[in-house]
Amino acid sequence: MTDAATVMQHCDVLAACTDEPGSITRPFASDAMRRAHQYVREWMREAGMAVTRDNVGNLRARYEGTGTATLLLGSHLDSVRNAGRYDGPLGVMVAIAVVKRLRDAGRRLPFGLEVLAFADEEGLRFGSTYLGSRAVAGRLDGAELRRTDAGGVTMAEAIRAFGGDPEKLADDRWRGDRPLGYVEVHIEQGPVLEARGLPVGVVPAIAGQSRFEIAFTGEAGHAGTVPMDRRRDALTAAAEVVLAVEAAGATQEALVATVGRLEVEPGAANVIPGKVFFTLDVRHPDDRVRTPACEALIARTRETARRRKLAVEVRATSERPSVRCSPRLTALLKQAVAGRAPEVPSGAGHDGVYMSEITDVAMLFVRCKGGISHNPAESVTTADVGVALDVLGRFLELLARQ
């Protein structure tokens, strides 16, 4: 079996580690995760690595080099509800496979390799993302431990039940010298590579993101009796903004702007909508593009409310600046690609967001079918995984020569 075929098989095995039989749902510190760990530990050992587990529940496996420096590789093992099998696990499996190749060849690099299999990136169980990489970056606030899951279990209890000590999360912080970098392989989760007919791409940056919750309040009324010119319809106002958001997204390369949630009150066929609540999500790899785009959309929202005589509430619910990947590591990754290596900014967040606080970050995207992710239909080819494996292997050799 080729190394790529083994990676695919391992992703299938992990897909069977689920809390919801029939679909893939592997939350933080779950029974499904416990079963996944049994497999992953074994695969790490077969690749010649020493395996430990930290308090938050990350698996950490080390393959020593001839020197003391460390390059970090990895991705996450948790999933969203009813997930695909590659978002997360693929990056961990490719990292293990690359180490195994070195081991099988009896090769040591001038630096150690540490594979991080993060305990949580998606935030399914506690609604708080990046728990694994935040612990490694020393950014997991103790206040988070009081969060509860849908069953009322606190995060502290969940960590303890999974075998960690919630009072010692600070120990999970990276303790050695600054690592040489953190490199992650991940499915693209978008259609760009597929559209260009290329197996892999390098990530110049992880997009910054702004989220808003917006509510228009007009006046509900009888759909048959209130003349059009006397209406204060919250939905027609929201429709204007939805189209403005779409148009704004089209004005700049790599800008994406989305209204994903929209709720109408009272929501009856014969009643003019009195209130509409909706979300706005804006992302771009350059904050100098995102910030003015958001300002323009919020101004447009307020102008719409004024013109239509509606009340408007705008709440900025989150803002995350963009994370620029390391130009040096990204250039090496490009060099390692035999052929064209397009730059594909990541619109989704990744563990690199927090890892960038303690080291340089680089990411390699693998083409995924239809750009679909967070869905059972998530699909990659064995051939493309083979390319990613080879690229990561060559990258390590290039880095070793520097």
Structure-token pair, residue 179: 């690592």
Q: Scan for tokens 């060849």, then name that residue.
A: 105
Nearer to its own copies, 75 or 359 (CB): 75
Nearer to its own copies, 170 or 316 (CB): 316
63: amino acid identity, one letter: Y
Binding site for its own copies (CB under 8 A): 188-192, 195, 207, 209, 211, 220-230, 233, 235-236, 238-240, 242-243, 246, 249-250, 254-264, 267-273, 279, 281, 283, 346-349, 371-375
Q: Minimal distance in Å, beta carbon 280 to its own copies?
A: 8
Q: In terms of residues, how long is the chain?
A: 402
Q: Minimal distance in Å, beta carbon 295 to its own copies?
A: 19
Structure-token pair, residue 23: 């679909």
Nearer to its own copies, 261 or 302 (CB): 261
Q: Minimal distance in Å, beta carbon 244 to its own copies?
A: 9
Four-residue CA torsion sign, 13, 77, 366, 247 = positive
Q: For residue 222, what are the contacts with CB-CB under 8 A and spacing of at least 6?
A: 270, 271, 272
Q: Minimal distance in Å, beta carbon 261 to its own copies?
A: 5
Q: Minimal distance in Å, beta carbon 193 to its own copies?
A: 11
CB 398 within 8 A of CB 332: yes
Q: Minimal distance in Å, beta carbon 225 to its own copies?
A: 3
Strands (DSSP E) contained in 34-150 are 50-53, 59-63, 70-76, 112-118
Q: For residue 233, what are the contacts with CB-CB under 8 A and spacing of at least 6?
A: 218, 272, 273, 308
Nearer to its own copies, 154 or 279 (CB): 279
Nearer to its own copies, 14 or 259 (CB): 259
Nearer to its own copies, 9 or 23 (CB): 23
Nearer to its own copies, 262 or 400 (CB): 262
Strand 361-366 relative to strand 181-187, pairing: parallel
Q: For residue 275, what are the contacts with CB-CB under 8 A and spacing of at least 6?
A: 215, 216, 217, 218, 220, 234, 264, 265
Q: Minimal distance in Å, beta carbon 246 to its own copies?
A: 5
Q: Minimal distance in Å, beta carbon 282 to its own copies?
A: 9
Q: For residue 327, what are the contacts with CB-CB under 8 A and spacing of at least 6?
A: none
Nearer to its own copies, 60 or 76 (CB): 76
393: left (phi over 0), alpha (psi -120 to 50) or beta: alpha
